[in-house]
Structure 1
């Protein structure tokens, strides 16, 4: 791979949610502030939504790392579960011993008892659910009923949902209005702009190398990655990774526009913009050439 060639100690653009590479850009800061305020004020639900690839899973892992020392965390990364299955999953996260023949009437009181025990020492348990848009309607309703578990002064369970925008559409259904009304705080993750795209790439590289401050990409390469990715972090990762591979294959120490165009051409969700990007940078080159020629003519 290109690690030794570029002096990297780890892959900077892996798609796994490595929290060491987390880049605290404004959208992520605002999302975390929203979650923090919801948890601090004792709200039952908080929702963070975003398009595919905008970094929801990374954000959820970062949140777990940040608050796990103060609060007990239950984490469900794959909530495609029916109501009984989600109760069993929560019981498992709370280390409750269960048997196969345990009925729901017996299960819920055990969960409540465990939540009360944990609340005395650590406060309400925080249940973090990723990909929440995949939950069936009846499971969402079962989730709402969990938030009825409370003491005289606080909830026993606070729930943070990370989901694609489809969950918001689902919650607009009339029969889910009670759950919708309980989500007092929500935040929508935005895509990166051009400056944030460059900051994101530079941050991940700087976290992966001892060569601080060294630029691995040209300015035009950053711009091409931004336009092709549409500011979607996952696509930024894919294009940056492939661009580094192409530069390595050519023996280059810096990624230029040609390597990025090659990466775009090899990436299905980015290559729809390839013609536009080529025209854009060709036009930019012609403008630069014309400006240089004009300056040379004036100097004569």
Structure 2
């Protein structure tokens, strides 16, 4: 659509998580560093939370890409599983046949034997769960049982939970206090301030092949930052629509007017109230 018009090689504001577009904003860079250090130190449970659209899945994929070769990973993007389903999904990710997953004792014994063999071969195992706030309470308890699998000197499996703030509420339940106590490190992803939004827009444009001057005018950046509340997913939506609006007018820069068109076309963005202010 507008790619050749603006000198782009690919769509810069796609909603599909692409680790090449990861911007090391302060909270995101700190979260990645925390994850890598904690996993290197063999810390059992780690939790990363953040509002919808703040980049948890992108960070999750970046983590999986940056773990060293001696780490075997199991990735569960859909945690709405029963305890049996959790054991079976983990076994599938590890290439283990688990014929009796419904028997908790036998399932854990089989997983422990496999994890001990894996450790003996010089590998560690990391289980990464995305959208963890959707995990049923009984499955979270089964997850806690997995972290009981250890030798005298090390954990046999480490768990990283990525979830929305509802995960924090879920873990505050008294019935899950044992699991919450096992979370040794945690962090929360922040939204972007105006300066970070500006850097975010420029970074994604550069990654998509843009090599011109400033494409988004300061007024457009301010509106996108305010209406998106600094949420990367909303920034992508508004920036994409603003590019379409400018392209439709044959404009070579994204102005405040183009940003306003994008905002008014996006229900989830903070809207102008018609009096020169914002709702």
The TM tier, using the shorter chain, reads over 0.9
Look up the SS of the partner of 2:74 in the other structure.
strand
Answer yes or no: is 1:181 the counterpart of 2:174.
no
For the structure 1 residues 83 and 61, does the alpha-carbon distance in structure 2 shift closer, same or farther, using more than 3 Å as the test?
same
Question: 1 or 2, which has the higher helix percentage?
Answer: 1
Answer yes or no: is 1:59 the counterpart of 2:69.
no
Gaps of 5+ in 1: 281-300
Mapped to 1, the partners of 2:134 and 2:248 lie a distance apart of 41
Normalization by structure 1: what TM-score? 0.88
Mapped to 2, the partners of 1:163 and 1:2 lie a distance apart of 35
Look up the SS of the partner of 1:108 in the other structure.
helix
Mapped to 1, the partners of 2:254 and 2:93 lie a distance apart of 45
Match of 1:205 in 2: 205
User: Alignment partner for residue 275 of structure 1, among 248, 266, 273?
Assistant: 273
The farther-off stretch of 244-253 and 195-204 is 244-253
The question of whether the paired residues in 1 share the 8 Å contact of 2:238 and 2:259 is answered with yes
The question of whether the paired residues in 2 share the 8 Å contact of 1:246 and 1:259 is answered with yes
Match of 1:133 in 2: 133
Match of 1:152 in 2: 152
Mapped to 2, the partners of 1:113 and 1:64 lie a distance apart of 24
For the structure 1 residues 205 and 266, does the alpha-carbon distance in structure 2 shift closer, same or farther, using more than 3 Å as the test?
same
Report how far residue 208 of structure 1 moved: 0.5
The question of whether the paired residues in 2 share the 8 Å contact of 1:129 and 1:161 is answered with yes
Q: Deviations over 1:218-267 (max 9, x none)?
A: 01011110000000111000000110111111111211111110000010
For the structure 1 residues 101 and 130, does the alpha-carbon distance in structure 2 shift closer, same or farther, using more than 3 Å as the test?
closer
Mapped to 1, the partners of 2:100 and 2:54 lie a distance apart of 39
Any residues of structure 2 matched to 1:1-300 within 5 Å, and which?
A: 1-99=1-99, 103-209=103-209, 211-212=210-211, 214-270=213-269, 272-275=270-273, 278-279=276-277
Report how far residue 102 of structure 1 moved: 6.9
The question of whether the paired residues in 1 share the 8 Å contact of 2:227 and 2:271 is answered with yes
Report how far residue 122 of structure 1 moved: 4.0
Report how far residue 151 of structure 1 moved: 1.3
Look up the SS of the partner of 1:273 in the other structure.
coil
Mapped to 2, the partners of 1:276 and 1:127 lie a distance apart of 49
Match of 1:293 in 2: none
The question of whether the paired residues in 2 share the 8 Å contact of 1:227 and 1:273 is answered with no
- What is the Cα-based RMSD across aligned positions, in Å? 1.7
The question of whether the paired residues in 1 share the 8 Å contact of 2:246 and 2:252 is answered with yes
The question of whether the paired residues in 2 share the 8 Å contact of 1:51 and 1:165 is answered with yes
Mapped to 1, the partners of 2:49 and 2:111 lie a distance apart of 28
* Larger Rg over CA atoms: 1
Q: Deviations over 1:132-183 (max 9, x none)?
A: 0000111001001100101111101000100111111111111110001110
Normalization by structure 2: what TM-score? 0.95
The question of whether the paired residues in 2 share the 8 Å contact of 1:123 and 1:156 is answered with no
Look up the SS of the partner of 1:252 in the other structure.
coil
Gaps of 5+ in 2: none
Look up the SS of the partner of 1:75 in the other structure.
strand
